[in-house]
Chains A and B, each alone.
Chain A
Amino acid sequence: MGEILLPLLILSPLAASLVVFVSAGRLSACAVGTLACTGVGMSAVISVILSVMLLSGPATGTLQVMLWPWIHIAGFSADIAFMLDRISVVMILVVTIVGLLIHIYAVSYMHDDPGIARFFGSMTLFIASMLVLVLASDLLCLFIGWEGVGLCSYLLIGFWYDTPANTAAARKAFYMTRMGDAALLCGLLLLATAAGSLHIGTVLAAVANGQVALSAVNMAALFILIGALAKSAQIPFQTWLPDAMAGPTPTSALIHAATMVTAGVYLIARLHDLFVMAVPVMALMAVLGALTLLMGACTALVQSDLKRILAWSTISQLGYMFLALGCGAWQAALFHLMTHAFFKALLFLTAGAVIVRTHHEQDIFRLGGLRHAMPGLAAAFITGASALAGVPLVTAGFYSKEMILSGVWAAHFRLTHEWTLSGHVLWGIGLLGAFLSALYIFRCVFIVFFGKSGTTATGRTSRLMTIPLSCLCVLSLCGGIIEMPMTFPPLHLFSALLDPTLPPSHADEPGWLVLVGAIVPLAGLGVAWVLWGRPSPIMREIPGQAAVIRFARTGGGMDVVYDHLFVQPFRFLTWLTRHDILDHAITGTGRLTQAVSTSVLRSRTGFLDILTLGGRRGIRSADHLLGQIHNGRVRWYAAWIVGGLCAGLAMAVLA
């Protein structure tokens, strides 16, 4: 039965997408929304059934479905094949359930948009591609989904294409992820050459039994890491994600918060056994993750656009996941991926609802005091914010962040024999990031929902939007208690879900770690309240004049740097070479030949001209002379004869 359900899981949103695209313009907005929700809803139901089937089975059981061979040739084979194991169970549940909630929300959010068919077509296509990505058991099949989600992201960011800025943001996102994709492709080529197959199991086995040289493993890991960094908007590719907020808010929630940007995390978790062999790459990943999480949090702290705050916060939270992956705590990364999907989707959807009701006002300083106008949304946003900040015990974010921090604490990297990098430093950065997360998100909460009122809010949030929000609220609060920190009661459902055979690791961490991890978010909350929350707040607005703030607001100026370093030179060079140089060269050669031959021709004809002209003149004058001799007068002839005779005689005598 699973063999039928698994393809059906992907097929149902795909079919919905095809129907919506093909019947574009003929179906009503309501019908389109219903169709899309049905497609995603069916796959949500199927994924629940499949999860129950798999989890009730043996601990190491997987569900393998080989649909058809992609290519079988001597020395290389790849298949269109899917596999459901315990990692993909987590992913399909997140993708389909969060996806379904966002789709339901979007039906109401997008109901009056003329391009609703294009919107839902792309959204359901995205769900299908994402499911291909997380279910693929072959890296080539995974790559199909990997690029497919990128394409849908491009289509949805540039959804309102009338504004050039939106399409530019869409292209930017696609180009930057495409660079990563090219690197990922190189990694795949390397692995395919070394292992002779792209089947994940085969590749990992080949790596494990030493069939692949260590340098090749390192290179492959590096290539794959670059691909993952680009997809997940980590340093140095972070600049595309804030711009991607140009898309409709459900898109931001689904693609740029909950699912697609976490594809990199998923890929590395999936290939964890390969990365374990590549210690330098792991260290690099951890360091980049730590840097990204700090940088994202700092930038989020000074943004004034509601959606951009959330975007930078996503980058920062993804940094956490990469930190965890780099430290080898991939279960923690997946756990955080799941809780992050809940609370970030919640935050984005609430923000979307707020923005709609305040006439598309996104500047948090013009919003304000909305707690009275929309208490429900305020509660939802505060729930999401608490989960993001990791308010202890009651929110999901606390548990996942705790798991990451304890994993980071235990990590250490033996880069060389002398030089080891301890996880304690990274742990410190992670803790600082937790403090900053609480600070920036509650800054946003206090400015938007407390204080004196700014924009007037109108209308009310429709039922279709509130239902998904309340579901996500529940998930953000309770989604975390399935995995307790080590010092708490031994409840480790998530770890057990991922790998039931393995006993819980690093049980020797000091108890104060959890305490610190619990206090720090609260401290951040308190500071935020002091700065922005009290009735007479210390800082209503951060002075925008300060150069450091302006610098930080643009994300550390990376956009400008890239613009000057890559985009402008590229534009200039392509502009310079817009006319084919080789064409010019060859046409020029042709012209030159023509000119030379013309001149040769000219000079030759000139020479002949002179020659013939001169000859003609000479002949004419000779002719004239001879003509004068033959003048018909007898006296002259007699004189010539006498003269000739005299000359002849003279010559004869003298000789």
Chain B
Amino acid sequence: MSPLPALVLLPIMGGGLAWLTERIQLHTATTSPPSRNASWWMMLATLIVETLLLAGITFGHPTRTGPWLEHFSMPWIPTMGIAVRLDLDGLSLSLIWLSLILCFLCACLATRQVTVKSGAFYFLFLMTLTGIIGTFVATDLFLFFFFWELMLVPMFVLIAVWGHEDRQRAALKFFMFTQGSGLLMLLSILGLVITHDRETGVLTFDYFALAQTPLSPTLSMLLMLGFFIAFAVKLPVVPVHVWLPDAHTQAPTAASVLLAGILLKTGGYGMIRFNVMLFPDAAIHFAPIAMGLGVVGVLYGAWLSCAQNDIKRLIAYSSISHMGFVVLGIFTGSRLGMQGAIIQMLAHGLSAGALFLIAGAIQDRLHTRDMHRIGGLWAAMPRLSASGLFFAVASLGMPGLGNFTGEFLVLLATWPVSPAIATLTTVGLVLAAIYALRMVNRVFLAAPRVDPLLLKDLPARQTAVFACVMIFLVVLGLYPQPFMIFSGPSPLSVTATTSREDHAP
């Protein structure tokens, strides 16, 4: 029995239990203070069980027989050729690990602040996690679409209910963009399925079967564009990024971390799994435009990040800049670039997630996100400030930390394709230094400006949690080789990857 369905379903069931726990506690003991904690513990227990399950999957394969680690298949709607088909490879596995690490971070650092209807919050939080994990393992296109939409709805509610001052508009914007682009993807999926049906007479949504569909170049390009737009909105790629700064800024801390840390990665994951692997030829033709969009994203995000005064907005724009590298790497057409994009996704998930947590911690204490009003925190909160400094430095691409590894590999893969693009992209690194250090010198290393009594430094346990993330980033920066082997996407379209492997510099 494959553990994959359990992996997918566990969070949502645990979340339901957490919600129930809160309801029951609320009815039985109205005054007891630990009532909130019970549901929180339930969430934590869910996460722990989930992690154990994942660890079992990861380490249960001492010898990797094939590229795919786990399979699960069960008919769902046989008449339509829809099945519950789940498959796990290194790429999915590493992204799921990232999701779980970030969820732990959120659980330890951010969700305790939620006091209103916390049980529902945990339920929606874990439901999003189910959607994310499902997205990463689904290999039936219909199921993929189902999970893709599933992670959207709870996130919408999280922003709209628990968000900050302008939450309604931000949530609506987020929903409109992702939903609208998701429909384009659905069109593409249907187009692909119908074409496959017409060509081979088999009606199926199966990823592996559909990959073999013979397509005319025009049709292939059209279908790929449908997928691309959906993923580009999620990633986000520049002209369609406008939902992101608002959503990230207005979302509650835990949701910001999920958004920046993992939700964006589903876009990158989709580009690798569906754009490049399902439509390799169309992707090659489309690559110049996509790479151009990537560079524009790197520069535009960094540029705007330099001008922000809202600390969460600044981090949000820096995310756009970092995701530009991901697009660039995926569409260089070489394995190196793709590996770089994956490393970049992992490192960005950790560093941006941690930065959002720090921004959230600051906002909890000072009730403002305006960098002009925060002032220097180092004297009063050395631990929080040192963590902030570390992650800011990581996000500016300091060699020896994970983000640099990703950026370097992407640039290395880009250089043979176009030295001009690579050179232009390095300008983004200079801009990254500007926004990151501007933030450091406004928020952490500056003259104190607020009442030090308001400022309570991070407790030792939370610092330890941050320290773990720092170690991850250092390992990713100094010894990325195991991740490179581990996290590669499985060569589904064998021809697509092996033929292009020689292009690597």
Residues of A within 8 A of B (CB): 21, 24-25, 68-76, 80, 140, 143-144, 146-148, 151, 154, 158, 161-164, 167-168, 170-171, 174-175, 178-179, 181-183, 185-186, 189-190, 192-193, 196, 570, 574-575, 577-578, 580, 582-583, 586-587
User: How far, in angstroms, from A140 to B404 measured CA to CA in the complex?
Assistant: 11
Can you sample 13 A-B contacts with CB below 8 Å?
Answer: A24-B382, A70-B480, A74-B501, A147-B400, A151-B398, A163-B447, A178-B430, A182-B429, A189-B411, A577-B303, A578-B309, A582-B241, A583-B242
With a CB–CB cut-off of 8 A, which chain B residues contact A574? 303-304, 306-307
Question: By the criterion CB–CB under 8 Å, are B426 and A192 in contact?
Answer: no
The complex places the Cα of A72 from the Cα of B336 at a distance, in Å, of 10
For A143, list chain B residues within 8 Å (CB).
Answer: 399
Q: Name the B residues within 8 Å of A69 (CB-CB).
A: 481
Docked Cα-Cα span, A582 to B246, in Å, equals 13
Q: Which of A72, A161, A178 contacts B441 (CB 8 A)?
A: A161
* Main SS at interface, chain B: helix
Q: Which chain A residue lies CB-closest to B428?
A: A182
Q: Which of B108-116, B144-152, B431-439 contacts A (4 or more CB under 8 A)?
A: B431-439
Q: How far is the CA of A440 from the CA of B139 in the complex (A)?
A: 74
Residues of B within 8 A of A147 (CB): 398-400
Contact across chains for B426 and A186 when beta carbons are under 8 A apart = yes
Chain A residues whose C-beta falls within 8 Å of the C-beta of B26 in the assembled complex: none
- Tell me whether A158 and B400 are in contact (CB under 8 A): no
A429 CB to nearest B CB, Å = 32
Determine if B478 is an interface residue (Cβ-Cβ < 8 Å): yes
> For the complex, is B486 an interface residue (Cβ under 8 Å from A)?
no
Given contacts A21-B386, A68-B479, contact A587 B505 (CB under 8 A): no
A71 x B398 contact (CB < 8 A) = no
- B501 lies within 8 A of A70 (CB): no
Contact A185 B426, beta carbon cutoff 8 Å: yes
Residues of A within 8 A of B309 (CB): 578
Is B339 in contact with A190, judged by CB distance below 8 angstroms? no
Q: When the two chains form the complex, which single residue of A76, A164, A178 contacts B447, counting CB atoms closer than 8 Å?
A: A164
Contacts of A76 in B (CB 8 A): 336, 412, 504-505
Q: Are B484 and A73 in contact (CB under 8 A)?
A: yes
In the A-B complex, the 9 residue pairs with the closest CB atoms: A578-B307, A574-B307, A182-B426, A161-B445, A583-B242, A144-B399, A75-B504, A189-B415, A167-B441
Q: Compute how far the CA of A189 lies from the CA of B378 in the bound complex, rounded to whole angstroms.
A: 37
Chain A residues contacting B422 (CB-CB under 8 Å) are 186, 189
B376 lies within 8 A of chain A by Cβ:
yes
Residue numbers in B under 8 Å from A151 (CB-CB): 393, 398
Whether the pair A25, B382 counts as a contact (CB closer than 8 A) is: yes
Chain B residues with Cβ under 8 A from A154's Cβ?
A: 437
Interface contact B484-A586, CB-CB below 8 Å: no
> Could you tell me if B415 and A190 are in contact, using CB atoms closer than 8 angstroms?
yes
Tell yes or no: B238 within 8 A of A by CB. yes
Bound CA span A143–B393, Å: 15
Q: What are the residues of chain B within 8 A of A25 when measuring CB–CB?
A: 382
A358 to B381, CA, bound (A): 34
Is B217 at the interface (CB under 8 A from chain A)?
A: no
Tell whether, in the assembled complex, residue B415 and residue A586 are in contact, meaning their CB atoms are under 8 Å apart: no
- Complex CA–CA separation, A221 to B382 (angstroms): 42
Do A193 and B412 touch (CB < 8 A)?
A: yes
Q: Is the CB of A192 within 8 A of B412?
A: yes
Cross-chain contact B481 with A70 (CB below 8 angstroms): yes
Closest chain-B Cβ to A173's Cβ sits at a distance in Å of: 10
- In this complex, what residue of A is CB-closest to B480? A71
With both beta carbons as reference points, the residue of chain A lying nearest to B376 in the complex is identified as: A161
The answer to whether B484 touches A71, judged by C-beta atoms less than 8 angstroms apart, is yes
Q: Say yes or no: A582-B239 contact (C-beta < 8 A), given A186-B426, A189-B412.
A: yes
Q: Within 8 Å CB of A580, what residues of B?
A: 242, 245, 304
Given the complex, which residues of B lie within 8 Å of A158, measured CB to CB?
441, 445
Please give the distance in Å from A389's CB to the nearest CB on chain B: 38
CA distance A25 to B423 in the complex (A): 43
* Complex Cα spacing A434 to B400, Å: 41
CB distance from A156 to the nearest CB of B (A): 12
Task: Give Cα A196–Cα B405 distance, bound, in whole angstroms.
Answer: 17
Report how far A171 CA is from B426 CA in the complex, Å.
Answer: 18
Q: Which residues of A are found within 8 Å of B339, using beta-carbon distances?
A: 73
Q: How far is the CB of B296 from chain A (nearest CB, A)?
A: 10
Partner of B430, one of A162, A164, A182, A578: A182
Alpha-carbon gap, A164 to B284, bound state (A): 50
Looking across the interface, which residue of chain B has its beta carbon closest to that of A583?
B242
Determine whether the beta carbon of B423 is less than 8 Å from that of A186.
yes
**In the complex, what's the smallest C-beta–C-beta distance from A599 to chain B, in angstroms?**
22
* Residue in chain B with minimal CB distance to A216: B419
A192 touching B505 by the CB < 8 A rule?
A: yes
CA distance A147 to B398 in the complex (A): 7
> Is B262 close to A, CB under 8 A?
no
Chain A, Cβ-Cβ closest to B448: A162
Interface residues in B333-348 (C-beta closer than 8 Å to A)? 335-336, 339
Q: List residues of B (223-240) whose CB comes within 8 Å of A's CBs.
A: 238-239
Do the beta carbons of A578 and B399 come within 8 Å of each other? no
Report how far A164 CA is from B447 CA in the complex, Å.
8
How far apart are the CA atoms of A371 and B484 in the complex, in Å?
A: 64
- Which residues of chain A come closer than 8 Å to B429, judged between CB atoms? 178, 181-182, 185
- CB-CB under 8 A from A163, the residues of chain B are 447
Residue among B434, B479, B481 with the highest chain A CB neighbour number at 10 A: B481
Known contacts A24-B386, A69-B481, A574-B306; 10 additional CB pairs below 8 A are: A68-B479, A70-B480, A71-B405, A147-B399, A161-B445, A167-B446, A170-B441, A189-B422, A574-B303, A582-B238
User: Are B415 and A583 closer than 8 Å at their CB atoms?
Assistant: no
Q: How far is the CB of A511 from chain B (nearest CB, A)?
A: 49
User: Does B416 have its Cβ within 8 Å of any Cβ on chain A?
Assistant: yes
Give CA–CA (A621, B419) in the complex, Å: 82
Given contacts A174-B433, A193-B415, contact A75 B336 (CB under 8 A): yes
Query: Smallest CB–CB gap between B336 and chain A, Å?
Result: 6
- Given known A76-B505, A162-B447, contact A193–B416 (CB-CB < 8 A): yes
Residue pair B242, A587 in contact (C-beta under 8 Å): yes
With contact pairs A162-B447, A185-B429, A574-B307 given, residues A190 and B504 touching in the complex (Cβ less than 8 Å): no
Chain B, 484-505, CB within 8 A of any chain A CB: 484, 501, 504-505
| Interface contact B434-A582, CB-CB below 8 Å | no
Query: Do A193 and B411 touch across chains, with their CB atoms under 8 A apart?
Result: no
Q: How far is the CA of A80 from the CA of B405 in the complex (A)?
A: 13
Report chain A residues within 8 Å CB of B415.
189-190, 192-193
Q: Is the CB of B242 within 8 A of A582?
A: yes
Taking CB as reference atom, which chain B residue is nearest A195? B505
Measured CA separation A72–B505 after assembly (Å): 12
A154 CA to B389 CA in the complex, in Å?
12
Interface membership of B354, Cβ < 8 A:
no
How many Å from the CB of B207 to the closest CB on chain A? 26
Q: How many Å from the CB of B329 to the closest CB on chain A?
A: 13
Chain A CB within 8 A of B187 CB: no
**Inter-chain contacts of B501 with A (CB < 8 A):** 74
Q: Is B409 in the interface zone, CB < 8 Å from A? A: yes
Q: Does B308 have its Cβ within 8 Å of any Cβ on chain A?
A: yes
A171–B399 CB distance below 8 A: no
List of B residues within 8 angstroms of A140 by Cβ: 399, 408
Q: Are A179 and B430 in contact (CB under 8 A)?
A: yes
Whether B52 is near chain A, meaning CB under 8 Å from some CB there, is: no
Chain A residues, Cβ within 8 Å of B479 = 68, 70, 80
Which chain A residues lie closer than 8 Å to B434 at the CB level?
A: 175
Q: CB-CB < 8 A to A171: which residues of B?
A: 437-438, 441
Instruction: Return chain A residues, CB-CB under 8 Å to B245.
Output: 580, 583
Task: Give complex CA distance A549, B310 in Å.
Answer: 44
Q: Which of A73, A76, A140 has the most C-beta atoms of chain B within 10 angstroms of its own C-beta? A: A73
Distance of A219 from chain B, by nearest CB (Å)? 9
Tell me whether B426 and A161 are in contact (CB under 8 A): no
Chain A proximity of B425: nearest CB distance (Å):
9
Question: A583 to chain B: closest CB distance in Å?
Answer: 4
Q: How far is the CA of A304 from the CA of B1 in the complex (A)?
A: 80
Q: How far is the CB of A465 from chain B (nearest CB, A)?
A: 28
Please tell me if the beta carbons of B307 and A182 are within 8 angstroms of each other in the complex. no
**Bound Cα distance from A614 to B419, whole angstroms:** 72
